[in-house]
Structure 1
Amino acid sequence: MTVALHDLLPAGLRRGWAVDGTCPDLDLYSLFRARQIADPHATAVIDAKGKLCYTALDRKVRCLAAGLAGLGIRPGEVVGVQLPDGRGAVIADLALAALGAVALPFPVGRGSLEAEALLRTAEAVAVIAAAEHRGSHPAAALRVLGPALPGLRHVIAAGRVGSTPEGTIPLTGLLRSDPAAFVPARPDPDSAARILVSSGSEAEPKMVAYSHNALAGGRGNFLASLMPDGTPPRSLFLVPLGSAFGSNGTAVTLARHGGTLILLDHFTPEAALAAVREHRPTHVLGVPTMVRMMLDRLEGPGPDTDGLPAPTALVLGGSALDETTAEEAARAFGCPVVNLYGSADGVNCHTGLGEETRGADAAGVVAGRPDPRVADIRIADPDTHERLPDGEIGEIIARGPMTPMCYVASPELDARYRTPEGWVRTGDLGLIDEDGILHLVGRLKDIVIRGGANISPAEVERELAPHPRVRDVVCVGIPDRLMGERLAACVVPRGPEAPTLASLGEHLTRRGLERRKHPERLLVLAELPLTPAGKPDRAALRERLTRTAPSAPGQAPAAPLAHAG
């Protein structure tokens, strides 16, 4: 049985973007193959194993596609991919595209319960996973799920010869398949190519189906706007290729633009800075927390403080980017800092190369000018979905070439987050000013309710970011018997001396934030924990605060938390 993936966008719109050239109207493997033919010896991937050119990559892709076909994997079937960033993840992506199958990538680090939910809901017939990665054993863990997943026919383990767990199929064997007789499937460019997994706040992650055209076209147009001279990009991905942000890797950097992927199998600030120096990327893609970690290393003693070769752009998304971080990063990297607002659900807006990242004001965080070649963005009444005039705050909705097809096997999510005309409801609050600039105000649901009063954590984070002793900050709500919830600030200090709760309150008062919105708990950390997708792990922080009694009134004990890249 194959999961049904239907397109909620009007067919005329989708076809119109192909006809007018907004989308390339080719499947991902055909686009990649054209790039390989045009420049066969260009470098496609740089990873821990070295460089891999387009021709060598294409041969590995065809071998794996032939091997997967030999296992009986057919067009339209879903195959999970849980691999660290590296050539293996790229080969799997392109091989599945060549088969006409649908890739379901998710980062290494997601737990077995979450993996089971993803594979079960998507009716995956196979999964490709690492035999071992940084002490974990994803393939073995997935093999154990077999009885709970009757539709999962194969677990394919990527690793050294002899390292594959019992009951799994070695990826090395499939890569030795004869590619000579393999014929690519050439799927419909408007059919499903990839399922993106949202790292949002739902009990189970949302899965969103994207077509070949939406990835190479809509998402490809986003990256094209950051390539001023059209030169193929050299993109350093600090985020996992298996994340929604990481979908700009194989499908966009390689297939659409013929560029080079620079990949780290695990993020550390030291490894990221070394990659910038050695490989001179044109684009560095990450989340603000990662860049703040890199800035910390640049400020300290040692080799990391040497000057950096300037990229074309530092592209930051996944969480709010404050003005202080943007200014410091622009000075340190010597390039524009692009503030990307986007999600797996199908919204994208960014500040662009020629715009300075402005701080938050009464209108919220500046997200940039919407690009209809990527996604048209409107502000709508949250209840009626009617368009609101410029300047009024409402729900941000989006529709355009990058709009996904549907949520996977979740008609209730389709009903909740898609309008009858195909617009995606983001759940974010914003406004569009008289100059056509989108401002992000907050979340419809991301509210801490203290004694019946609503507090937006995003608003408090924006006001705390300029504090001279705050390098990074996340605010979360924690349960409280008396007030229902209280707001806690989780802070990575700037410099050796951490801020106190009192100093944060004084700062917020000077910024004009009313007293009822001030944090009442403080957790000081060496680094913020990150989710497998590379975003600040709010759930881990909330759990830590909930189970840890304050060591002093209002303050939780200072201690580092490990982060997952």
Structure 2
Amino acid sequence: MTNLLHDLVPAPLRRAWAAEGHCPDIDLYTLFRSHRIADPHRTAVIDARGATSYAELDDRARCLATGLTEAGIRPGDVVGVQLPNSAEAVAADLALAALGAVALPFPVGRGGREARSLLGRAGARAVIAATEHRGIAHAKELAELAGELPELDTVIAAGAGAVPVGCRSLTALPGTANGFTPRRPDPDTAARILVSSGSEAEPKMVAYSHNALAGGRGNFLGALLAAGGPPRCLFLTPLASAFGSSGTAVTLARHGGTLVLLDRFTPEAALRAIRAHRPTHVLGVPTMVRMMLERCGPEPVAAEGLTALVLGGSALDAATRREARRAFGCPVVNLYGSADGVNCHTGLAEETAPAGGPGVVVGRPDPTVCEIRIAPLHGGTANEAETGEILARGPMTPLCYVGAPELNMRYRTADGWVRTGDLGTLDAEGTLRVVGRLKDVVIRGGANISPAEVEGELSAHPGVRDVLCVGVPDPLMGERLAACVVPRSGHEITLESLGAHLDSRGLERRKHPERLLVVTGELPLTPAGKPDRTALRDQLAAASPATPAQTG
């Protein structure tokens, strides 16, 4: 597989970014090891089992690396990892980096069909999976699929319980910390494959080098660090998600910080972790923060030492930003990023956003992370003040898509730019606004509607706590727009009240939602922690178009 993970960025550009200091030009395990040597007793991970020091984590990683070597894992091999957020998952990341292997993490909860697709397309030689997690026997499921994956030699079961037939036990792998000599892979070679929860029929897989993770993605977090020591990051999303790639590689290896991990997100558990472990940064998606705000009510959260909430994955509306700023007493950073290789954020300064303009303000691009330009939609000369497709290129740019040459043809240019599929503008001051997705456009009777634009307006409705808009098939118009709304306590939401609100905001009538799904609990989340648009479309399809749908 290693020969298939070729770099689509010209080599002179990669070398220039390293020479300019935008990348450490050192492999991930060596970076981590330098922090372990400097301060072995510093806490590296806090999970459900307690605290693990840098020295303890390093010993686990080195033992696992020797065991994986005995199991036949070699430099360049792809190894799947399906584990919950834990020190065990972090040790697996580091062990694979130390071997020069390529980690393919994907979240627990993803079914066998998707796991088979990921492992098969990546040509994985082995997979480390949870013996059991919240009722799902992941290792057993993957062992039963091994016959359909000719390149998959080994399934390793991790965690308590009987070892399933066809699996090896993680704890039984022979290994010793002292007998291991780590590899020193080229930092511009693949270290990790990120799985995108994007809009393709199957999840996209994107290969990242050691430098792109520790360099480009590391610079993104570095810009959000306050003076006074290493970061202490609470990840509400899975480390196995694209967002979670800033865990081991960035928080630990690049910045020598501490990871605070929940094996499963709930708003109550997240609030307890903030109060008990005093993170400097909380990383999640806006929907998670809205759930937390609902639980904590009008009282401020006791969040001593919190530097920033860093929210990505979906648009952050002004109402949530204001409420979170009041409740948590720290800057709320709007992060625009994806596995495809784009990142921009609003930073800690909380500057007033420029008045007017479409979409959501997501800050000014940082060339030490990635440059951004706007490509015109219909040819001609680019005018960056006009809406076009967002293109990105820089130290965080991934190598290539994995097992999908057609995606490389569609989304990569010959000079290394990534076509993101997102719509945006850059104003004269260099501020980026994200307007929506090319593929998310709802086409109603031949007219285009951006769900993101309508979501942005509806989020200001006083009775709306959370909202997503999706297109639903319609025999007459082709598609119609549906609003999926979580009401605030004590408010009743109707299509009429939403329409009146949108009228007051000046939104054209043709863009108003024509279907309503009232979600009485929370918006459903995917295993990667993002709002699940497919589940909402399924609920709308099951409901009568004539009446508003209700779901719990």
TM interval, shorter chain, is: over 0.9
Trace 1:217-256 onto structure 2 (pairs within 5 A). Answer: 217-229=215-227, 231-256=229-254
TM-score by length of 1: 0.95
TM-score by length of 2: 0.97
2:316 — aligned with what? 321
In the alignment, is the contact (CA less than 8 A) between 1:360 and 1:366 conserved in 2? no
Amino acid at match of 1:238: L
Distance in 2, matches of 1:444 and 1:259, equals 37
| Alignment equivalent of 2:414, drawn from 405, 417, 420 | 420
2:67 — aligned with what? 67
Confirm whether residue 307 of structure 1 aligns to residue 302 of structure 2: yes
Distance in 2, matches of 1:80 and 1:119, equals 7
Confirm whether residue 377 of structure 1 aligns to residue 372 of structure 2: yes
User: 3-state DSSP class of the match of 2:237?
Assistant: coil
1:150 — aligned with what? 150
In the alignment, structure 1 segments of 5+ residues that lack a partner are 561-565
Distance in 1, matches of 2:115 and 2:257, equals 31
Distance in 1, matches of 2:491 and 2:355, equals 26
Q: Deviations over 1:355-377 (max 9, x none)?
A: 24749943321010000000001
| Alignment equivalent of 1:258, drawn from 256, 261, 264 | 256
In the alignment, is the contact (CA less than 8 A) between 1:310 and 1:334 conserved in 2? no
Distance in 1, matches of 2:240 and 2:405, equals 24
- Distance change (3 Å), C-alpha of 1:153 and 1:357: farther
- Distance change (3 Å), C-alpha of 1:305 and 1:312: closer
Aligned residue pairs: how many?
551
Which deviates the most, 482-491 or 119-128?
482-491
How far did residue 540 of structure 1 move? 0.4
Distance in 2, matches of 1:355 and 1:369, equals 12
| Alignment equivalent of 1:555, drawn from 535, 548, 552 | 548
Distance in 2, matches of 1:501 and 1:310, equals 42
In the alignment, is the contact (CA less than 8 A) between 2:78 and 2:122 conserved in 1? yes
In the alignment, is the contact (CA less than 8 A) between 2:193 and 2:206 conserved in 1? yes
| Alignment equivalent of 1:443, drawn from 437, 440, 462 | 437
Which deviates the most, 108-117 or 462-471?
108-117
How far did residue 305 of structure 1 move? 6.8
Confirm whether residue 535 of structure 1 aligns to residue 530 of structure 2: yes
1:489 — aligned with what? 483
Trace 1:379-528 onto structure 2 (pairs within 5 A). Answer: 379-382=374-377, 384=379, 388-525=382-519, 526-528=521-523
Q: Deviations over 1:265-317 (max 9, x none)?
A: 000000000000000000000000000000000117xxx87633351000000
Amino acid at match of 1:450: R
How far did residue 164 of structure 1 move? 2.0
2:135 — aligned with what? 135
- Distance change (3 Å), C-alpha of 1:360 and 1:531: farther
Q: Deviations over 1:203-228 (max 9, x none)?
A: 00111000000000000000000012
In the alignment, is the contact (CA less than 8 A) between 2:301 and 2:328 conserved in 1? no
2:334 — aligned with what? 339
- Distance change (3 Å), C-alpha of 1:443 and 1:156: same
Trace 1:189-204 onto structure 2 (pairs within 5 A). Answer: 189-204=187-202
- Distance change (3 Å), C-alpha of 1:212 and 1:433: same
User: 3-state DSSP class of the match of 1:339?
Assistant: strand
Q: Percent identical across equivalent pairs?
A: 69
Distance in 1, matches of 2:356 and 2:127, equals 46
Distance in 2, matches of 1:456 and 1:260, equals 39
- Distance change (3 Å), C-alpha of 1:523 and 1:360: farther
- Distance change (3 Å), C-alpha of 1:360 and 1:538: farther
Distance in 1, matches of 2:505 and 2:345, equals 26
How far did residue 448 of structure 1 move? 1.1
In the alignment, is the contact (CA less than 8 A) between 1:338 and 1:357 conserved in 2? no
User: 3-state DSSP class of the match of 1:173?
Assistant: coil
Amino acid at match of 2:35: R
In the alignment, is the contact (CA less than 8 A) between 1:336 and 1:356 conserved in 2? no
How far did residue 329 of structure 1 move? 0.4
Distance in 1, matches of 2:247 and 2:238, equals 9
Amino acid at match of 2:163: T
Distance in 2, matches of 1:360 and 1:181, equals 61
2:167 — aligned with what? 168
User: 3-state DSSP class of the match of 1:414?
Assistant: helix
- Distance change (3 Å), C-alpha of 1:378 and 1:73: same
How far did residue 21 of structure 1 move? 1.5
1:101 — aligned with what? 101
Q: Deviations over 1:451-477 (max 9, x none)?
A: 222111111100100000000000011
In the alignment, is the contact (CA less than 8 A) between 1:10 and 1:422 conserved in 2? yes
User: 3-state DSSP class of the match of 2:374?
Assistant: strand
Amino acid at match of 2:125: V
1:18 — aligned with what? 18
How far did residue 141 of structure 1 move? 0.9
In the alignment, is the contact (CA less than 8 A) between 1:3 and 1:409 conserved in 2? no
Amino acid at match of 2:525: L
2:186 — aligned with what? 188
Amino acid at match of 1:364: G
Q: Deviations over 1:49-70 (max 9, x none)?
A: 0000000000000000000000
Distance in 2, matches of 1:230 and 1:124, equals 41
Confirm whether residue 290 of structure 1 aligns to residue 288 of structure 2: yes
Q: Deviations over 1:105-157 (max 9, x none)?
A: 01111111111111001000000010111111111111111111011001111
- Distance change (3 Å), C-alpha of 1:23 and 1:2: closer
Which deviates the most, 344-353 or 357-366?
357-366
- Distance change (3 Å), C-alpha of 1:132 and 1:358: farther
Distance in 2, matches of 1:415 and 1:231, equals 43
Which deviates the most, 244-253 or 104-113?
104-113
Distance in 2, matches of 1:357 and 1:337, equals 13
2:92 — aligned with what? 92
User: 3-state DSSP class of the match of 1:145?
Assistant: helix
How far did residue 387 of structure 1 move? 7.0
Distance in 1, matches of 2:547 and 2:484, equals 12
User: 3-state DSSP class of the match of 2:120?
Assistant: helix
Distance in 2, matches of 1:483 and 1:431, equals 29
2:124 — aligned with what? 124
In the alignment, is the contact (CA less than 8 A) between 2:300 and 2:326 conserved in 1? no
